[in-house]
Amino acid sequence: MNKAPKLQEAYEACESLTAIYESRLSKGQGKRKLRGWMERVTNRKLSCFDSFLGTLNTHFEEVTNYFIGRHTSGFVEGLNNKIKVIKRRCYGITNLGHLYQKVFLDLNGYDRFGVDTL
């Protein structure tokens, strides 16, 4: 019994998008698959993807470059986010050296001392 059909459709759309990115496709094949996925999502009137579809349309060429070398900027994005969090936690530190020490410790230094950061 399906009590949330739109939610089920959105979940299936997410899974099919993931399947596209996990497939070994050329850039041209990836473009065709993504365009098909975008059309299906638009036709189903799944408004939860509206913002994503806009971003995908705007940066379609850059996004599909993933299929050339299968590289993402995920690591860099994660590192930038981690540094931003550290900067917020260290607000008020006037010595730049101390900030760099905190960044170093948060990124890899605690392992050297056997300290659990959680």
- For residue range 63-117, list pLDDT tens digits in order: 999 999 888 888 889 888 988 888 888 777 788 888 888 888 877 776 676 666 5
Predicted TM-score (pTM) of the model is 0.65
pLDDT value for 118: 53
Q: How many other CB atoms sit within 10 Å of the CB of residue 97?
A: 8
Tokens of 106: 């948060």
pLDDT value for 116: 64
Query: Assign residue 92 a region: left if phi > 0, alpha if psi is -120 to 50, beta otherwise?
Result: left
pLDDT value for 31: 97
Residue % of the chain over a pLDDT of 90: 51
More confident residue, 87 or 2: 87
Query: Assign residue 114 a region: left if phi > 0, alpha if psi is -120 to 50, beta otherwise?
Result: left
